[in-house]
A and B are shown apart, each in its own frame.
Chain A
Amino acid sequence: MGQLFDHKEIFAFGSGKGGVGKSFLATNVALVLGRKGRKVLLVDADLGGANLHTCLGIPAPEANLSDFIHHNRPIQDTIIRTPFENVWLISGGQDILGIANPKHTQKMRLLKALQEVDVEVVLLDLGAGTGHNTLDFFLVADKGVMVVMPEPTSVENAYRFIKSALYRRLIVLASDPAVRDLVEKASDRRNDAGIRTPAELVEQVVKMDPTTGQMLRDSLKQFRPRIVLNQVRSLADIRIGFAMQAACQKYFGLEVDFVGYLENDDQVWRSIRTRQPLAAMGGGKLFRSFETIAFNLLSNQQLKPE
């Protein structure tokens, strides 16, 4: 695929809850980027529940991620061309056993290999939920995107996801067993250490061990999840994105970027039913929403209220 680009970005798409439109969003953002002339690699990292190929309207490819992870095939051999300009795919493993739980070294090998693939943007479509695999991929990505629907269960799980990712990040960083212990304790909201929020946790750690505390604080500053709202039906729904932003800032002490929303539209289920990605057609309201999201992700921007 030619020479390496100097800068490659990895976006990971996660969600606390399944069925909120992760794969749908990842696919369409990939297509939009492809149409703009960016080389994009979609990776189906929903280990165990892979179906990104279906979103793209192609049959399950022969080569897939498990060939790389379990059979040591070179990453190049697992990449397939899609019918869409500038978009490539690594399909998820179809074998049920084993792949759902790759070892840490296998994950690292995958990330390293992805760095070497000659594309500009890698989009990782993660499984739903807060499993370690999902969180680890979400955390190593340059940008983690959370897909949320404006409804209680989805919002709740989105917070749970952010919280799990955040504590996972802190636990991985904390080498001091005492600090690690405190982080684990704090992850339970009813802990007896009286720590209610991550912001308070970091304050506590600073008191115990200023160097580690500072490190955690810096690490949290760099952790900046993005939110995309899917299936919005009203202006009030859109405001939930901004409200979640404010809530995260107050509760987690985290900056969260609200990068875009997708309106509820019959076109969406039609596109899913017919396995024809929406963005392939170009034009229309939803296409512009995908463009906005892609643009905001690439340029580190976000929506502005009103």
Chain B
Amino acid sequence: MKPLHQQNYYEILGIPREATPEQIRKAFEMSKQTFESNSLATYSLFSDEENREILTLTQKAYNTLFNLNLRQAYDQQLQSEEQTSTTKRKTKTPASPDKPSIQSVSSQEDDLPPMGKNALQPYIAGTKPFDGSALKAARLLAGISLDELASQTKIRKTYLSYLEAESFSSLPASVYVRGFVKLVAAALSLPIEQTAQDYMNRYASATQPGQAPHGI
């Protein structure tokens, strides 16, 4: 048994690792019904906010597992995490097979628009909200690689790249995202509160319930 935030996507949906797409879809549908606020089975255990958090996680789990490519990458990542945690938590090397899972995102790293020193000015002045590209710009300006930022902030590299790419559906629940953004902002000497606020506004408007799942 694990607290929710430590559960992997399979555990969140309550399905076996070898689940078929059909099973995944059914589990997702069921989970949606179950954690709708005010459902008979949940109202006495979870607050509306907790229900929403679970639903967000469920949606993410579904988005990843129902997409064959994403699922493959996720499985690999999971496998490598399990291996490292069974051998030793801290011996994880940068060359771990984490990589494939962020390929789709990191490929964007190459085609970055050229950036001058003033690239961050509009954000800091408040004329543009701090978004994923602001985080990326700040990191590149600081001359820090994702790996370095990961080891500084102790945030997994995949998540960092998702933050920058604003792949909201691949990120954990909003409370964690807010925490991540603050850590990143601190590491890159950005105004912490403002960055977090701007970023979370974007996150919230993109992940509003009812909106089509992002990133499929």
Contact = CB atoms under 8 A, between A and B. Distances in A.
Contacts of B40: 150-152, 155, 240, 243
B142 interface: no
Contacts of A150: 40
A156 B44 contact: yes
Given A155-B44, A156-B44, A243-B42, A202 B1 contact: yes
A200 B30 CA distance: 25
Max chain A C-beta neighbours (<10 A), residue from B1, B3, B35, B43: B1
A129 to B, nearest CB: 17
Interface in A21-79: none
A182 interface: no
Interface in B2-39: 2-4, 14, 26, 30-31, 33-35, 39
Interface residues of A, number: 31
User: What range describes how many residues of B lie at the interface?
Assistant: 20 to 34
B112 interface: no
B171 interface: no
A250 B41 contact: no
Given A150-B40, A152-B40, A239-B30, A247 B3 contact: no
Nearest to B39: A243
Contact of A247 (B1, B2, B26, B45): B45
B117 to A, nearest CB: 44
Given A155-B40, A155-B44, A246-B31, 4 more contacts: A246-B34, A247-B45, A250-B46, A253-B1
A221 B1 contact: yes
A244 B54 CA distance: 14
A99 to B, nearest CB: 33
A240 to B, nearest CB: 5
A219 B4 CA distance: 19
A203 interface: yes
A240 B41 contact: yes
Nearest to B27: A305
Nearest to A245: B14
Given A242-B30, A246-B30, A246-B31, A253 B44 contact: no
Interface in A209-253: 217, 220-221, 239-240, 242-247, 249-253
Interface in B148-199: none
B186 to A, nearest CB: 24
Interface of A: 150-152, 155-156, 159, 197-200, 202-203, 217, 220-221, 239-240, 242-247, 249-254, 305-306
Contact of A251 (B14, B39, B46): B46
A250 B30 contact: no
Interface on chain B toward A: helix, strand, loop, or mixed SS? loop
Nearest to A150: B40
A203 B3 CA distance: 8
A286 B49 CA distance: 40
Contacts of B35: 246-247, 250
Contact of A305 (B1, B26, B43, B45): B26
A200 B14 contact: no
Contacts of A198: 1
Nearest to B34: A243
Contacts of B46: 247, 250-251
A200 B2 CA distance: 8
30 contacts: A151-B40, A155-B40, A155-B41, A156-B44, A159-B45, A197-B3, A198-B1, A202-B1, A203-B3, A217-B1, A220-B1, A239-B30, A239-B33, A240-B41, A242-B30, A242-B34, A243-B39, A243-B41, A246-B30, A246-B41, A247-B42, A247-B46, A249-B14, A250-B35, A251-B46, A252-B1, A253-B1, A253-B2, A253-B3, A306-B26
Nearest to A216: B1
A135 to B, nearest CB: 19
Contacts of B45: 159, 247, 251
Contacts of A251: 45-46
Given A239-B30, A239-B33, A247 B41 contact: yes
A304 to B, nearest CB: 10
Given A199-B3, A199-B4, A239-B30, A250 B44 contact: no
A254 B14 CA distance: 12
